[in-house]
Structure 1
């Protein structure tokens, strides 16, 4: 298992409450608590240094999973505890406890590890500065298993208020931290070769958008790591859809529907050629190379000709909200873009090119006006005035006056400039 995936971070924007909530491994100096495992004697040697449970147990054997919960704050806190089974998100990452998975997301499943995890209580209150050891237990299935089963424990402080107060009417930033600790178990350490399959690709409407849905499955009782999936779909009249995603990870015996989005493009009726390649087990000495010449140990491909009927194409188009939005707003977008460009050009002309009238007034040593002249100048079209050695600029905005080698450069940013002649 990829150790970097043992603690997950998930961010969710809660528009209804105008709060940004982020879950993950709590490491900020402002956190109220921390959760650290006590390594059990059944922990496999290769995972002894990592912050998650990876144990080797006999069928039916029970092991305690101790976690030290420390209150770092100056007030009592209550921590909620949950358990879960590891699944694979639609984005290709392993989630251990924070999601309820439908049964269809698992295949060739040996056992639900969550059924064997016992929580003595679902919450615990800890006093300031104290450490409480929470002791969940894991009981292995009575029947021997092949490879691994995986799940996890999560620890969440109630009523977290790590908020950055918003100014004015802006959003408040509220960080909600969850410690999610993986629990992986096996009966033995016999090596298992991870196996991925691509079972089907079909056009469908997902979340109001048209996509080609690819059924990706890890059919092995072990983790499939560093997975790259590359899909290329061509259709009638030169239509082309492509998606590639790297560094995915699949939990044991889990599957996902991975999408090649049409992104609002029309999916016409006709014949389509679908080609999907999956690579996993990144290894510099691997046998297989993807399009970027990255080496992998394992590879599978899927090539299919599929037909989309006129009725199916119409049904997809009718339900594609993004395509309708693009089509309906396209003229408005063009008008808005043209208007913005016009405003920008007018602004540039007004501030840079448009010449403004500037009055030059010459004063004697007693500040009496002896001469007056009106000139026009802009930021790009200057008006230069040569000054004698006994002349100086006074009573004008000095930040907008430029003198160079006794030459006054007028650029239209001031209305009146006074030039005084000093007594000799």
Structure 2
């Protein structure tokens, strides 16, 4: 956002004008907090993005933005297009865009995925046969790399990107039978899904959605319905995070209908609860959380798919805490978050930072300012150690909004000072 603001101000200066674009203004555009930008700012945005003014006027805001495109069909041509899109994405730096797909398009993609059966993969393509040793190595790597993201996130992204390139190359040029093709598609789906979360954590939402789309097409080609449903639930989670809970509910309705493993259903149910809580549907939230707990108890970690094997009572507790907070029940929220923090795997620092931020909100709702300040400071330290923009933005928002009424109290002033020095040191 800072980079885009700088480019907008430079574009204005080239016209002999003075603009006042900053991070805050762009944040409000990106999250729909204000109406459409003025005609001047839209012309400046078009200048930065390389879009013709005629298209801006014809399509209107926000449809002229280059980030808005259409879902790809679930057929071989769509899969090839997703491969090409992934390779382009891997070979260029992320360009800030507002959303990769409209929320309506996300729902449409979910509905199509739920109704279309995967076509049989082509038996053999021109090129060399797929080496079993290489395929097994790719499978093992993609299953073990996510754990590296907690300690070495950039190395994890680099290795996952390399795995994606290698797998796409094999899918597009090698010779293989149908079972091997499905295994390759599963590898690509898991690598793209994991990489999507790394981009999401860095608030690169357009890149995250493009990776999730690649993952969904690959999971569909592999006929792995649980993995596809999990990827759709990731998209639904991001929709809720970005302020579109109604679309998240619709996406999860399509995804849940085709989910097989109990642990996978638990994940979808808890994410449905999050979206319903954001919509202030207390009854629906309570039912979804109850079903999530029931499905998690039915699931067995030994048989859970690799992509959801991390799902645990701690994850259920943190999401339940956020739900109760959204439903104005801070006492119940505090109990759930306390439980989640006790159960959470110590290596999962991104989740811990988010949980601490949520607990700070519950402390404020319960009029415990000292506890809120302590949790916010701990959340900041934890988020800084991960470098995840998503976690840092959550802490910043707490400092700017939730703690604003107490800004003149000594402990909050000290916290703001500590935060400024910590963030400056990181920069």
Normalised-by-shorter TM-score class: under 0.3
Return the structure number with greater relative CO, CA threshold 8 A, min gap 6.
1
TM-score using structure 2 length = 0.21
Whose helix fraction is larger, Structure 1's or Structure 2's? 2
TM-score using structure 1 length = 0.21
